Structure 1
Amino acid sequence: MKLFLSSMVIIILFTIQDLKSQEFWSLDDCLNHALEKNIQLKRQELTSKISKNNFIQSLVDVAPDLAGFGRHNLSSGKTVNLEDYTYINTTFYDGYIGTQSQLTLFNGFQKINAIKQSKFNLLGSIQDIDRIKNDLVLNITGAYLQILFNHELLEVAKGQLEVSEQQVDRTSKMMELGRISKGELLEIQSQAAAEKLNATNAQNQLTLSYLTLIQLLRLDSIGNFRIIRPANLEMDKGVLITSVKSIYEYAEKNFPQIKSAEYNLRSLEKGFAIARGQRSPQIGLIGTLYSRYSELARDPFDPASTYAVNKQLNNNLYKQVSVNLSVPIFSRWRVQNRISNAKINVLDARYNLDQNKQILYQEIQQAHTDAIAALEKYYSSIETVESREEAFNYSQQKFNVGLTNSVDYNIAKNNLTRARSDLLQAKYEFIFKSMILDFYQGNPISL
């Protein structure tokens, strides 16, 4: 007795330790982790930062540029002395230094449109971040619910296996008493073996669903990872009250895939305006500040003294302001082709926006239809399960007293198993679709 108690204590301690080592994650835990670790999301955030840099650059491009230049020469041999234009043969140094600034006054509004285009690109990239987040939330939620569904399927399979194993024991005793034939026992044993396989398959499906979730979460292995199973999943039937049209109208105005497509269209429209601006004359303002020095130069006020370089630069200072006009006449059709391609891109962006709206509407319509169908199936499955349970209980009682054969008993049992599976499937199908509809209305997903 003491040995038995010691063994039980050891088993309980090991069980408690195993439970402590397991990590239980809620749906919120999974969503927060995925949003933090997802590579696609991180890459899109980097893309958005690049778009922000491009937008800042387009603002700065309106300002004038400024460049410095200079040159120092060491010459030897025959040349012309630029100071007095005499012919000399000697070794000397000279050079120049200066700065130049250019400002675009008009270029067909290309820079203004470039600012608007880069702004729309930035806004679109931000919406792409939200789009990836939404996709990730739906994928994680679907994987989480699939685990819950497979958990319950496994419990059904284990429950049916337990009933079959009990029936095998009962049938063996009945055969020993001569109340049934050996064939009846073999039939029941065969059913128990089949249900053991069903339980094994259900366990494998549960493991695979866990694998799907941990891959979305970018975890190393399944290990001790487990999800928290809610005590009671509510079926929010109120979500079906809202029509498909109303849900779509909200989603069209607020969902990132539509906003991203709209910003992409507006960006390409500005790109078209930029291309057309290349036909316009371009006017620019150029300012130049320049000076030179030479070893051969002489101070006009004191020719005998050394003419310092800094003094030469000050005395030789040259200033110039000019207006530059450029009129495009013929560019081998490059400008026209750019305009034509930009126009095509705008048309394609409009089609893309319409397609995204159509896809969004179809997704909402499909989710709404699936939710209604799942709810109807759920109610029908409840009635089916109740009738199958009564039929099975009746068949089991008849079999136990030898009034029915094992074939009819197994049929009743299998019908009950299928009915329970259909009920679970309808339940989780409705929960997931109703959560999608709720999500499209701007409500956060939660269990």
Structure 2
Amino acid sequence: MKRIIILIGWILLASGVSAQSWSLDDCMKYAVWHATDVKRETINARQRKQDYHHAVAAFLPTVACGVQGQYAWGRNIDPETNTYNNVTTFNNYYQLYAELNVFDGFATINAFKQARLSRDYSATAMQKTQDNIAIDVMQKYVDAAYAEASIRIASEKLNESKRMLAKTKRQYELGEKGRPDVVQMESQVAEDEYNLTHQENVAKQSLLALKSAMNYPVHDEMKLDISYNDNEKEQESSRLTIGDKPNTESIYINFQNLSPDLKSAEYEVERAWYDYKIAKGRLLPSLSLSGGITTNYYKNLSLKGQYDGFASQFRNNRGEYLALTLSIPIYNSDRWHSMKKARNNWQLAQVNLEETRRKLHDQIAQAIMDAEGYAKELQQMQKKVASDSLAYHMSSRKFEEGMLSTFDLHTSAQTLLESRIKELQMQMLLVIKQRLVGYYQGERLIK
């Protein structure tokens, strides 16, 4: 019974999820949680943390032990008489040793600083990935919403054409219209049916692109929330914000400390700088300290003599050593090549940083300019739609009264359709640009 209840609950939950309308924020949140890029960046962050622990461990000495067993037979030299003999011997060696890096041109210290920098960069890298996904999904969502809203406009246009066709046929039967008028209206209906079919295909493709960007199951149903009331509220808030005339320079200055792209470019400069310092350090002398304990067990299998036991030899043959090794690199082409390559990469990262700053400034200026322009265009298009709608209404009345040709009615209808499509396009573009302006002003893309 418990399993049945749980199963029913899951079915109800699944049906509720599939029936919900997906808003822009819902799509962006889903994409951030399910995108493969976010999962990949999570693994990269874990790897950076592991690299940091490895860099810390590099300050500790390395400790190792070794055991060796050796059988030897055949001719060899007797160390006591310095003569050849034929014997079989068994040697057993034991060693425990440690080595500590005393100085290596500060390569270990710089590697530790670089690993710490990479670990701290993980949060910025994750934010950059999430922002890029959110912006991509926002663009795909607006395209899909625009295509779906265009279906509604095309459907309304088709219904109006069918209504006019039915009325024209009735007038033809009454002798008030000619056959060419009926044929022209039938052509208009066919054209509107084609536009509706084409728009439905575009909407399917746009929705598929949105699902792909979200990593959403392709075959699952998704219904977009394109409430026009919400869009109107968005437009009103957009006009208020745009009316404040945001200053590009002040937004750019404030956003420099928040921009994940800029932080990423700065991180690349610092990381390349540490690579350069590490490569230079490998050209300097290195000093290492090592020490260990050794012992061995020996037995001549060819002579049946008395030998000390294993425990006795293991204790008596024990020896300790301590060594200080200085290595001075005189010439190593690989190290010199690595140093010059690291220096070039550091200089290249600086150039990329300057380019990122310039692009960021241009993107902010472009977003503000586009938002202001689209807001003004939308206001003008709303007036034009109202005028074209009135003009089409008057043209249809004149056509019904026989005072206007079918061609002129078709022209008026197409003008109204193009105006409504253009108005919808301005609405969608304004939503994107206003979101971007808010993002540059410090607002989160995902609310």
Q: Same fold (TM over 0.5)?
A: yes
Question: Quick one: distance in 2 between partners of 1:446 and 1:162?
Answer: 39
Once the two structures are overlaid, the 10-residue window that deviates more, 124-133 or 192-201, is 124-133
State the match for 1:285 in structure 2. Answer: 289
Alignment of 1:82-93 (within 5 A): 89-93=86-90
Partner of 2:239: 237
What displacement does 1:274 show? 0.9
User: Offset at 1:31?
Assistant: 2.4
1:68 offset after TM fit, Å?
1.0
- For 2:155, the aligned partner's letter is K
Distance 2:114 2:176 in 1: 87
Query: 1:323 aligns to what?
Result: 324
Partner of 2:309: 308
User: 1:346 is matched by which residue type in structure 2?
Assistant: W
- 1:175-210 CA-partner distances (Å, limit 9, x unpaired): 222222221222222222212222222222221211
Structure 1 distance, partners of 2:174, 2:182, is 12
Q: Residues 414 and 23 (structure 1 numbering): CA distance in 2 closer, same or farther, change over 3 Å? A: same
Amino acid paired to 2:168: T
Counterpart of 1:58? 55
- Quick one: distance in 2 between partners of 1:272 and 1:198? 61
2:220 and 2:73 map into 1 onto residues whose CA distance is 81
Give the number of aligned pairs. 423
Structure 2 residue 151 is matched with structure 1 residue 164: no
> Hey, what does 1:252 align to over in structure 2?
256
CA distance in 1 between partners of 2:81 and 2:54 (Å):
48
User: 1:273 aligns to what?
Assistant: 277
SS in 1 for 2:60: coil
Matched, 1:410 2:407: no
Instruction: Judge conservation of contact 1:289–1:320 (CA < 8 Å) in 2.
Output: yes
Aligned to 1:421: 421
In the alignment, which of 20, 32, 35 is matched to residue 35 of structure 1? 32
Equivalent position SS for 1:221? coil
Structure-2 residue corresponding to 1:8: none
Q: Secondary structure at the match of 1:212?
A: helix
Give the Cα separation in 2 of the matches to 1:69 and 1:21.
64
Contact conserved, 1:164 with 1:188, CA < 8 A, in 2?
A: yes
What SS is found at the alignment partner of 2:403? coil
Gaps of 5+ in 1: 1-17, 298-303
Q: Give the direction of change, closer, same or farther, for the CA distance of 1:86–1:313 in structure 2 (3 Å limit).
A: farther
Decide which moves more: 103-112 or 306-315: 306-315
8 Å contact kept, 1:121–1:264: no
Q: Tell me, in whole angstroms, the C-alpha distance in 1 between the residues paired with 2:239 and 2:371.
A: 9
**Equivalent AA in structure 2 for residue 132 of structure 1:** T
| More moved, 84-93 vs 264-273 | 84-93
Asked whether the equivalents of residues 34 and 136 of structure 1 are also in contact (C-alpha less than 8 Å), the reply is yes
Query: Would you say 1:184 and 2:181 are equivalent positions?
Result: yes
Where in structure 2 are the equivalents of 1:384-399 lying within 5 Å?
384-399=384-399
Match of 2:401 in 1: 401
- Distance between the aligned counterparts of 1:435 and 1:269, measured in 2? 36
Instruction: Report the counterpart of residue 213 of structure 2 in structure 1.
Output: 216
Number of the residue aligned with 1:383? 383
Deviations, residues 16-40 of structure 1 (Å, cap 9, x unaligned): xx99974533334322332232223
Contact 2:146 2:424 in 1 (8 A): yes
> SS at the partner of 2:257?
helix
Q: Which amino acid aligns with 2:253?
A: E
The Cα offsets for residues 258-309 of structure 1, whole Å up to 9 and x where unpaired, read as 1111111101101111111122111111112111222259xxxxxx965121
Bigger mean CA deviation after superposition, 240-249 or 156-165? 240-249
SS in 2 for 1:320: strand
Q: Is the 8 A contact 2:18 2:222 kept in 1?
A: no
- The answer for the alignment partner of 2:10 in structure 1 is none
- CA shift in 2, pair 1:19/1:187, >3 Å: farther
Q: Which amino acid letter does the alignment assign opposite residue 193 of structure 2?
A: K
* Aligned counterparts of 2:51 and 2:16: Cα–Cα separation in 1: 52
- TM-score between the two structures when normalised by the length of structure 2: 0.88
CA apart distance, 1:87? 6.8
| Alignment check: 8 A CA contact 1:104 1:285 kept | yes
Letter in structure 1 aligned against 2:98 = S
Distance change >3 Å, CA 81–CA 97, structure 1 → 2: farther
1:117·1:268 contact (CA, 8 Å) conserved in 2? no
| Distance in 2 between residues matched to 1:313 and 1:440, nearest whole Å | 73
- Deviation (angstroms), 1:392: 1.2
Shift of the 20–349 alpha-carbon distance from structure 1 to 2, 3 Å rule, reads closer
Contact 1:123 1:260 in 2 (8 A): no
TM-superposition CA deviations, 1:219-257 (whole Å, max 9, x none): 343442212333422122244332222332233211222
Does 2:98 match 1:98?
A: no
Q: Deviations over 1:147-190 (max 9, x none)?
A: 22222221111111111111111112222222222212222222
Alpha-carbon contact 1:120-1:264 (below 8 Å) kept: no
- Per the alignment, residue 154 of structure 1 pairs with 151
Instruction: Give the SS at the match of 1:359.
Output: helix
